[in-house]
Amino acid sequence: MSFRLTAEQAAIREAVRSFGDEEIRPVASAYEDDERYPAALLEAAAELDLVAPHVPEAYGGAGTDPVSTVLITEELWRADPGVGGSISAADFGTGMILEYGDEWMKEKWLPKITAGETPIATGISEPAHGSNVAGMETTAEKDGGDYVINGTKMWITNGSVADVAIIMAKSSPEEGHAGITAFLTPTDVDGYDATRIDNKLGIRAQDTAEIVLDDLRVPEGNVVGELDRGFYQLMEFFAPARVDVAGQAVGVAQAALEEALDYAGEREQFDQKIGEFQAIRHKIAGMATDVEAARSLAYRAAEALSGGEEATRLASMAKLFASERAVEVTDEAVQVHGGAGYVSDHHVERFYRDARITKIYDGTSEIQKSIIADELG
Ligand SMILES: Cc1cc2nc3c(=O)[nH]c(=O)nc-3n(C[C@H](O)[C@H](O)[C@H](O)COP(=O)(O)OP(=O)(O)OC[C@H]3O[C@@H](n4cnc5c(N)ncnc54)[C@H](O)[C@@H]3O)c2cc1C
């Protein structure tokens, strides 16, 4: 295992960092204030191969390795979790298509996603069933050559801006988790009705929606993977998704650390820079150590995605550790800013709110601990 980035990975980091500093950070607050989805920036990022970069070149992606992929997410979140996060989340579902989808699904949708023409959404969670994925109530009933889907999906990233979505539904409700299937559907069809959720704590530029599925008709050829195997496919899909969240957490924590360092070097109290007080120096040392530890675990988990039995355990560990540290580090960054950290004049106020989501989605911290314990036997 290498703890050094390759020259190519380092170059990717630099390229994303420049894009983030020049194109994302200056407009981040405006998108956040307006709760506006950054469609134009998605296209600009796509020109640099930053949208769904892991998708193979044959389908318009860059075919990045898992460490490069998490690096890109980290840097996009370092720039801004709302705007950069919208870019990195545009691929939330491409893994399912790549791994299990038919060739026509890949040819039709992946080039549009990698080109930044549309993000993809994946509907798993429901109002009454989040952590308990197997409890979902959305049904898919066979009717001739179609499935007819009914139910409500909740908190769906890209739900109201995506042209395409993967919907998880019970095709054999009596079978519990063994009766769930993944369906691919365009969103401009009757029966798909998305309402944007616009009162989020953070990542406000990101699109999150409630989706009502009312007799949504999906041809049987739109089953992604195998009928009734959706739950098992999801379990595979979650490992890279959780490593991605670890990258998000590292990115926002790094951003907060940098803001704290800058502020500590400028702000004076008692006739000296606050960064000269040992209390602040120790705070920053702790923050930096947490970020570095989280980063190491995130990259290690990313490497494990290439194969091996450790992938599930390390992905959950990375997600758990990085997200918990991100919440603490952003909190400390607010503290370093004093009162100035409590208002939106400084980026840390936003980062503090943005970081919180990483402990919740793609499986809460509590669920990650259960997975880790199960994996340990
Ligand atoms: C901004 C945002 C974006 C999201 N994007 C998507 C998306 O694109 N697609 C999608 O499908 N979902 C998405 N989600 C949903 C997200 O994955 C769920 O919110 C999350 O899985 C938790 O489910 P829940 O909200 O129903 O909480 P609940 O499951 O009701 O959990 C409430 C609390 O109980 C705890 N708990 C529950 N079960 C257990 C248990 N067995 N042991 C210990 N503690 C437990 C939880 O850890 C949590 O603390 C998103 C959510 C948000 C907020």
- What's 60's domain CATH number? 1.10.540.10
Pocket of ligand 1 (CB under 6 A): 92, 122-125, 130-131, 155-157, 200, 208, 357, 360-364, 366-367, 370
Q: Quote the pLDDT of residue 3.
A: 75
Closest-lying ligand 1 atom to the alpha carbon of residue 200 = 1
Distance (angstroms) between ligand 1 centre and the Cα of 7 equals: 38
Q: Contacts from 135-139 at CB under 8 Å and sequence distance 24+?
A: 136/168, 136/169, 136/170, 136/180, 137/170, 138/167, 138/168, 138/169, 138/170, 138/213, 139/169, 139/170, 139/171, 139/173
Closest-lying ligand 1 atom to the alpha carbon of residue 131 = 29
211 and 267: one domain?
no
127 and 101: one domain?
no
Encode pLDDT of 254-304 as tens digits: 999 999 999 999 999 999 999 999 999 999 999 999 999 999 999 999 999
| Euclidean distance between the first and the last CA atom of the chain, given in angstroms as a whole number | 25
254 within some domain: yes
2 within some domain: no
Q: Is the pTM of this model over 0.75?
A: yes
1 within some domain: no
263 within some domain: yes
183 and 241: one domain?
no
CA distance 182 to 169: 7
291 and 338: one domain?
yes
* Residue 109, token pair as written in the block: 């949708």
Task: Please give the tally of structural domains in the chain.
Answer: 3
Q: What is the CATH number of the domain that holds 342?
A: 1.20.140.10
**Which residues form the domain of 30?**
7-114
CA distance 151 to 105: 24
The protein residue whose alpha carbon is closest to atom 7 in ligand 1 is 156
* Residue 324, token pair as written in the block: 């918990």
Distance (angstroms) between ligand 1 centre and the Cα of 316 equals: 15
Closest-lying ligand 1 atom to the alpha carbon of residue 206 = 1
Closest-lying ligand 1 atom to the alpha carbon of residue 363 = 21
94 and 176: one domain?
no
344 within some domain: yes
Closest-lying ligand 1 atom to the alpha carbon of residue 129 = 26
38 and 155: one domain?
no
Final residue before a domain boundary, out of 91, 114, 137:
114
Q: Which residues of the chain have pLDDT under 50?
A: none
198 and 307: one domain?
no
Q: Quote the pLDDT of residue 159.
A: 98
Q: What is the CATH number of the domain that holds 205?
A: 2.40.110.10
62 within some domain: yes
Final residue before a domain boundary, out of 228, 251, 283:
228
197 and 254: one domain?
no
Distance (angstroms) between ligand 1 centre and the Cα of 323 equals: 14
Distance (angstroms) between ligand 1 centre and the Cα of 367 equals: 9
Q: What angle in degrees, to the nearest 10, is found between the helix axes of 230-266 and 278-304?
A: 150
The protein residue whose alpha carbon is closest to atom 9 in ligand 1 is 156
- CA–CA distance from 284 to each of 32, 248, 274, 329 (Å)? 27, 20, 11, 9
Final residue before a domain boundary, out of 197, 228, 259:
228
Given ligand 1 and candidates 92, 136, 155, which is best to mutate, with the most ligand atoms within 8 Å of its CB?
A: 155
H runs (alpha helix) in 89-229: 94-100, 103-114
37 and 134: one domain?
no
Closest-lying ligand 1 atom to the alpha carbon of residue 128 = 26
Q: Quote the pLDDT of residue 308.
A: 78
134 within some domain: yes
159 and 295: one domain?
no
Q: Quote the pLDDT of residue 1.
A: 63
238 and 361: one domain?
yes
97 within some domain: yes
The protein residue whose alpha carbon is closest to atom 16 in ligand 1 is 361
Classify burial at 117, counting beta carbons within 10 Å of its beta carbon; exposed 0-12, middle 13-18, buried 19 or more. middle
154 and 247: one domain?
no
Q: Do residues 312 and 371 make contact, with C-beta atoms less than 8 angstroms apart?
A: yes
